[in-house]
Amino acid sequence: MPLTFTRPLKRGNARNWPGVIVMDPDAPLPAAVWAQECYEAEWKLNPVNMLSVAFSRSARREMEIMGHEIEVQVAVRLYGRRAGIYRTEEARALTAYPEFKGWTQARIEAAMIGKRGEAARWVEQNLETIRRHLEPKRARAGARG
């Protein structure tokens, strides 16, 4: 699993690099966000994948589609969110990414639905680790104090 750090971010809920995640302590649905970032950070550890993400818009799209569908699956499973509504929000967010220039929200949603089974399997295989991120780190630290 990637190293995970928590610090306030000016933009977005989290960032990832190969093997590393930085989460904003105020990220909503932190386990869902963390799962998406975890998938992407682990995926980038493979040198072939890392090079493809660095040089291929298509490869970045595929990684983002899978990562965001993983987030949907966790939001549904652990937080009780409705899949269609959450997926629509994620697809809307992805329309702003440069990799999706020219893609409609409906096209992104369809691509995410196409990854639904694979994403659900990934979540199932990693569920115990994902559950550790159910609460924001700041709240967990305060509860221990």
pTM for this entry: 0.91
Task: Tell me the average pLDDT across 53-76.
Answer: 97
| 98 DSSP assignment | G
Which domain does 94 fall in, by range?
3-130
- Residue 136 belongs to some domain of the structure: no
The one-letter amino acid at 116: R
| Closest to 32 measured CA to CA, from 89, 82, 76, 66 | 76
- C-alpha angle 136/111/35, rounded to 5°? 20
- Residue 145 belongs to some domain of the structure: no
- Residue 81 belongs to some domain of the structure: yes
pLDDT band at 134 (very low <50, low <70, confident <90, very high): confident
pLDDT recorded at residue 137: 63
- Residue 29 belongs to some domain of the structure: yes
- Residue 24 belongs to some domain of the structure: yes
- Residue 135 belongs to some domain of the structure: no
| Closest to 62 measured CA to CA, from 31, 39, 85 | 39
- Residue 102 belongs to some domain of the structure: yes
pLDDT band at 1 (very low <50, low <70, confident <90, very high): confident
> What's the domain count of the chain?
1
pLDDT recorded at residue 5: 94
- Residue 138 belongs to some domain of the structure: no
Residue 3 has pLDDT above 70, yes or no: yes
Residue 141 has pLDDT above 60, yes or no: no
pLDDT band at 120 (very low <50, low <70, confident <90, very high): very high
The one-letter amino acid at 4: T
